[in-house]
Structure formats: C-alpha cells, structure tokens
Structure 1
C-alpha cells in the first residue's frame, strides 16, 4: 500500500465515539485502500472468555472502511461522512476469537464505489502477518445521511 494521504488521528476520520470506536489508529491510507490497527481490549463490550468473538471482525472491517471514507473527506476539507454497513459476503475466519491484547491490522481495499454511494470493499484482518479473517463488505454512503434517516423512519 502506497502512502497517499496525511495520517490523521482516528477521531478525525471516523464518526464512532466511546465504546463503539473499536479502532486505535490509522496506519496508512490512499485513494484505493486503508490500513488501521487495534489492540483487542480486555474490557470491550464484546469480550467473552479471553477474547472477542471473530464475528466482531465484521465491525472492525466496517470501521476500517469508515476510516477510508473519512480520509477521503478530509482530503476535500470535509468532515467524516456517516455511512451504513449493508452486509458482508464470504466472511471467513481462521480463528473463533481474537485474543485479548492481540494487535490486529485491518485492511480495506475499494473494489467498487458507485456514484449512488454504494460500495464494496475487500477486507482482511491480520495478526503478526497471518491472515485471520477476510470478507467483502458492502456499504452505503448517502449524500445526506440525516435526510436519508428521516425519510426511512
């Protein structure tokens, strides 16, 4: 991954806060992809028996995509956008859980991004260079998220 954009503090590029901000830092970001990092916390709301269930990896991936979108927005002088996780395809995990204290690298690469705000990202989670989980993540970023939510209610 070629470094393309300035590396921002995670809270500058993602709308998540408090206990729902699951990532620690942005490692790299360019026009096509992003790499982020987290240390699996022992005090996570998702913590069970010494770790975090592997299915939480879908949210790690979704937040990596949100970081990518936030970095793109920052490059245009805009705040991080609000987007929605639509779903995943082919989520595959080599482990049942991510161990507490384990450092994870989450990568997301843009595969498709339409003018209508629909996108698909190829994502993976690694620890010490070993691939632990992969998936294709589908997302939606409406031009005006608040108006979209009000119309859907």
Structure 2
C-alpha cells in the first residue's frame, strides 16, 4: 500500500531521535521509507563536516524502518498506542563504504522474514538511487506495556 506519509506518525520516538522521514509504502510483509542527508533534514545533527552520514547510522535507520512497519501494523489493528521495540541484534550487516553521501535521498526497504509472537526477523537494504549502500538482517523484540514499565522502573533504581 502506497501511503507517502510522515514516518514519525508511526514511531514512538521524538525529535531529534527520529532518523527516517517519509513512509513511501507499507504492507503486511514490507516497508519502504526514505530519509535525506541534506543539511536541513532530520539527520543534520549527525552529519560530518562534509555533509556525509557515518554508515553505522544505517543500523538504526533500518531499525526505525522496522519500527515504522510495526507502528503501521498497530494502527491498522486499531491501537492508538505505539510501543517502542527493541533491536536484539543484526546479522550480516555490511556497508559498502564508511559514509553515506551528502545531500542524498536514502531509500530503506525492509522485508519481514519471520515473526513469532513478539519477536521478528527482518532483512533490509539502504540504497542511494541504484547504488546499494548497506544491507543486513535485524532481529527485534516487541515488549508489552508491563515489560516496558518494568524496564523503565529498573532504570530509575539507584
């Protein structure tokens, strides 16, 4: 389904931690988002002096694209609450260069490989035009409200 909307509508994050800008398309098994490395974009605080983005940001960009997919699923199911997810790890992550180019539109595509209850495995790529910049597989966990509350209360203990 092509939706062309703001990615932040599907994420529990707030600026400056939203690292994807637009949702191009999303369905039951995949999501396509975009983000710009322009100096005016959401990635501006993280750009090098040359305007490039360190490639290691790609892991979080891909994880947030998974988050967009999850948030879309929650909204489609009628939920008004979008819960944060957890990135458990990645496999086969590789970037073709150490930075992503300046003033570029990055296309992030993610495909669901497997989902079991609240755990998921996703495979994705980041492209600039036809050029593959990064790819890998992400494993995620979606905690429920009670688990999130427990995690938050543990963080507040001395």
- Relative to the length of structure 1, the TM-score reads 0.88
* Alignment match, 1:47: 47
* Alignment match, 1:125: 126
Distance 2:97 2:105 in 1: 14
Q: Confirm or deny: 8 A CA contact 2:5 2:24 kept in the other structure.
A: no
**Offset at residue 151 of structure 1 (A):** 6.7
1:111 pairs with 2:113 = yes
Q: Confirm or deny: 8 A CA contact 1:12 1:80 kept in the other structure.
A: no
How many residues are treated as equivalent by the alignment? 149
1:89 is matched with which residue: 88, 91, 97? 91
Distance 1:97 1:114 in 2: 34
String of CA shifts for 1:75-101, please: whole Å, max 9, x gaps.
011132210111111111112101221
Q: Confirm or deny: 8 A CA contact 2:6 2:23 kept in the other structure.
A: yes
* Alignment match, 2:103: 101
* Alignment match, 1:64: 65
Q: Confirm or deny: 8 A CA contact 2:90 2:138 kept in the other structure.
A: yes
What runs of 5+ residues in structure 1 fail to find an aligned partner? none
RMSD: 1.8
- Relative to the length of structure 2, the TM-score reads 0.86
What runs of 5+ residues in structure 2 fail to find an aligned partner? none
Of residues 138-147 and 84-93 in structure 1, the stretch that sits farther from structure 2 once superposed is 138-147
Q: Confirm or deny: 8 A CA contact 1:52 1:98 kept in the other structure.
A: yes
